[in-house]
Amino acid sequence: MDYHVKDIKLAEVGKNRVEWAGKSMPVLKSIMDRFSKEKPLKGISLGACLHVTTETAMLAITLKQGGANVRLCASNPLSTQDDVAAYLARDHGIPVFAIKGEDNDTYYSHIDSVLAGEPDITMDDGADLVSTLHRKRTDLLPKVLGGTEETTTGVIRLKAMAADNVLGYPIIAVNDAKTKHFFDNRYGTGQSTIDGIIRATNRLIAGSTFVVSGYGWCGKGLAKRAQGMGANVIVTEIDPLAALEATMDGFRVMPMAEAASIGDFFCTVTGDRSVLRKEHFLHMKDGAIVANSGHFDIEIDVMALKEIAQSTRKIRPFVDEYTLGNGRSIYLLADGRLVNLGAAEGHPSAVMDMSFANQALSAEFIKVHSKDLEKRVYNVPEDIDKEIARLKLASLGIRIDELTPEQEEYLTSWNMGT
């Protein structure tokens, strides 16, 4: 079998870690059980470009149990868990192409290897697979039934493709399901970003000034968790509504030009480029810690940091010291790539349970409904979203009320007032 992993002998470690993750993924497991009986993806070639983690392993196994021929590559050069990649290749016969720390050429050659499987369905996190397919393998377009997209950045890219009339097949925006972004983006990013920063630095968060750039779902989660650990949190924003929300949530809001000289920790979660740049680095305190948890490594202008640095060295794994001409040192984590997956293990399994339940059910939806779909970006059908919420609640042993007939009637009537 074709695969490219760091070391196949790591498989045994990966096996135990995937088993551990599976214990917190009851919703996906129930889908896996159904898929293995019903084989809804029988005969489907599925190309996936996802962070190769223990949780992704659970998804890949589910899709394979469902009858799909799955090929998997990484959606970021730094997020692969090499033991997991080895386990999927060795024990599940899944062609995996992913090595933690791979260079850009290898990263794209791995995407090519997934496309070599001529996918009927693509499953993407950040849209690199879809964009490579549309640039280099247009011959494959007529065969593709549809694709799914995991993250905000990818959905934005794909909507831009649809707006330019170049999107060659329908996409389901898994990110936009409520059971995805309300939980994964907020609680997942919140916890895993703090986890990555702490694992990399072992610095104390309590009493520090922690600057969060961007107050979308990820920023909200991160600001709240940093505050929960005792940090004084500053939010920077470009959107007046988000800035107002951050203010009323109790955070200080100011431009980065002001926050730069105050912060001990900086973390970008905006989805846009050059949020931290030369004029900010020059004002930072000695010892400032700079990280990114947005999808791409564009939010921190690392080139500018390199240009103004007089010396650089790796001081700990995932921590590079940049000493500037003003004598101050700035510490960049995980090369400016997403710190939660580069320096830690990404979101906990319990939230990925819902995200990947959406992925599995959306793949099944594409198989059944592709003929009725246009070449545009769709939301996950509401009944799938609600069903995942119901299954998650049931797995947590939480019951909720039901509307009485009288309440139902009230909600659909307009003539009952005071």
Q: Which residues bind ligand ADE (CB under 6 A)?
A: 50-51, 53, 55-56, 188, 341, 346-347, 352
User: Which residue, among 412, 406, 392, 402, has the nearest Cα to 177 in the 3D structure?
Assistant: 392
Q: How far apart are CA 235 and CA 251, in angstroms?
A: 6
- Residue showing tokens 């307009």: 414
Q: How far apart are CA 299 and CA 296, in angstroms?
A: 7
- Helices (H), ranges, 293-381: 302-308, 339-342, 349-369
Which of 231/352 has CB closer to ligand ADE? 352
User: Which residue, among 158, 152, 196, has the nearest Cα to 175 in the 3D structure?
Assistant: 152
Which of 55/120 has CB closer to ligand ADE? 55
Which of 21/309 has CB closer to ligand ADE? 21
Q: How far is the CB of 403 from ligand ADE (least distance, A)?
A: 35
Which of 127/167 has CB closer to ligand ADE? 127
Termini Cα distance of the chain: 70
Q: How far is the CB of 93 from ligand ADE (least distance, A)?
A: 21
Residue 117 corresponds to which tokens in the numbers above? 């499987």
- Return the HEC string of 207-266: CCEEEEECCCHHHHHHHHHHHHCCCEEEEECCCHHHHHHHHHCCCEECCHHHHCCCCCEE
Which of 66/221 has CB closer to ligand ADE? 221
Q: How far apart are CA 233 and CA 254, in angstroms?
A: 11
Which of 11/25 has CB closer to ligand ADE? 25
Q: How far is the CB of 38 from ligand ADE (least distance, A)?
A: 25
Q: How far is the CB of 276 from ligand ADE (least distance, A)?
A: 21
Q: How far is the CB of 130 from ligand ADE (least distance, A)?
A: 17
Q: How far apart are CA 86 and CA 18, in angstroms?
A: 12
Q: Which residue number is nearest to ligand ADE in terms of Cβ?
A: 346
Q: How far is the CB of 55 from ligand ADE (least distance, A)?
A: 4
